[in-house]
Chain A
Amino acid sequence: MSDRYSRQILFSPIGKEGQAKLKNKHVLIVGAGALGAANAEVLARAGVGRITIADRDYVEWSNLQRQQLYTEEDAKQRMPKATAAAKRLRKINSDVEISPHILDVGVQELEALITHVDLIIDAADNFDIRLMINDLAQKREIPWIYGGCVGSYGLSFSILPGLSPCLMCLMETIPIERVTCDTAGVIQPAIQMVVSYQTSEAFKILVEDDQSLRRTLVSFDLWKNHHRSIDVSSLKKQECLSCGKNRSYPNLSYKNQLKTAVLCGRDTVQIRPSHSLPINLNHLADLIGDQGIKVEQNPFLLSFAVEDVRLVIFKDGRALVHGVTDVVKAKSLYHRYLG
């Protein structure tokens, strides 16, 4: 056990002192897909004291090519990613306190999750969540590390409240991507590259080696052999509504929150109930089973197919409706079975 971190301690920028700091730090990882799983594994192996990981989804076969914490067993059982990740991370390093959360991150959820957090790693798959993280991180003065990846392309930037521009400063507007989401696929090396940039910056922040921070927007395309690093400090805006003098945190206002969302490239609609009362899955399974529908179930969710559509219902009342992109149809199916 005493040998566990020896190679990392021999690395002088971390050393014994840095290792002790890692042990006392708490990192929140938002999303447990490809970026989230890889980030979590690096941080857990490195001995970060506490890792909280939140995700709304469950493991599917199409995840296994790149989401490194998950197994075929997880896909077969449709294990929620947060749960499957925690199970694997605890096997990798039992010293680390892992807190999994199966939920769709909204403002309220995020407010609760970031208490006593030293750093937020963005491993989300959409900008709605990222901009929420952006504003809340500014409000609570917590650093966060943006990462995004598609195809063989990826980029990363560390947002340090008070020092760097924030994501709103850089983007100014919300990408149209939220409507016409990318379906270009993704390769694992691109994920790993983004994660390497995210986790090395994370180490520097956690061991408080601010001098060594990269401070540039880094991007690459591993297939086209491009690498670049741009100094974006001139984009920090005094008038930014998220980090400027007269800030209003526009991305935390409730009107910006969707109750339903079409998940990118997946023919899936997510429905969030307006209340957040846990539902009794066994009871619901019986009710649906009584209609002659075959229901599959694990302790966290149940799923069943009607016509060409598969519904997956989580304990918190959320549903993923697969096989539709029409929100109205998804909602009507939801209400048919959940009232």
Chain B
Amino acid sequence: MNLVVNGNDVNIPDSVQTVLALLNHFQLENKIVIVEINHSIINKSLYEETNISDGDHIEIVHFVGGG
């Protein structure tokens, strides 16, 4: 399926169906992130049950500690 992630067109295997799977796909599962799909923020407790669909605009912001 085709998504726009952080402004870039990306093609994701169809097996990736949820927000959690998407984070795993990008190897971000251990990072603290904020996920926004089509301009609404997804609550962390809903990552596993929130589906993603073709054409979604997704923003993923991860927290970093360096300074």
Contact = CB atoms under 8 A, between A and B. Distances in A.
Contacts of B30: 176, 180
Interface string A234-247: 11000000000000
Interface stretch (A7-15, A16-24, A120-128, A270-278): A120-128
A173 B29 CA distance: 13
A172 B44 contact: yes
Nearest to A186: B66
Interface residues of B, number: 18
B46 interface: no
A49 interface: no
Given A170-B34, A175-B31, A217-B34, A230 B64 contact: no
Contacts of B32: 171-173, 175
A123 B61 contact: no
Given A175-B32, A230-B34, A148 B65 contact: yes
A230 B65 contact: no
A158 interface: no
A130 to B, nearest CB: 7
B7 interface: yes
Contact of B64 (A154, A178, A217): A154
Nearest to B6: A226
Interface in A147-175: 147-150, 153-155, 170-173, 175
A150 B34 CA distance: 17
A180 B32 CA distance: 13
Contacts of B61: 155, 217, 219, 228, 230
B66 A148 contact: yes
B55 to A, nearest CB: 18
Given A175-B32, A234-B41, A235-B34, A228 B67 contact: no
Contacts of A338: none
Contact of B67 (A35, A173, A176): A35
Interface of A: 31, 33-36, 122-127, 130, 147-150, 153-155, 170-173, 175-178, 180-182, 186, 217, 219, 224, 226, 228, 230-232, 234-235, 264
27 contacts: A122-B67, A124-B67, A125-B66, A125-B67, A126-B65, A127-B63, A148-B65, A148-B67, A150-B64, A153-B64, A154-B64, A155-B63, A171-B32, A175-B65, A176-B30, A177-B31, A177-B64, A181-B65, A182-B64, A182-B65, A217-B34, A226-B7, A228-B61, A230-B34, A230-B41, A230-B59, A234-B41
List the 4 shortest-distance A-B pairs measured between CB atoms, nearest first: A150-B66, A35-B67, A148-B64, A150-B64
Given A124-B65, A224-B6, 18 more contacts: A35-B67, A127-B65, A148-B63, A149-B67, A150-B65, A153-B64, A170-B63, A171-B63, A182-B64, A182-B65, A226-B6, A226-B7, A230-B36, A230-B41, A230-B61, A231-B41, A232-B34, A235-B41
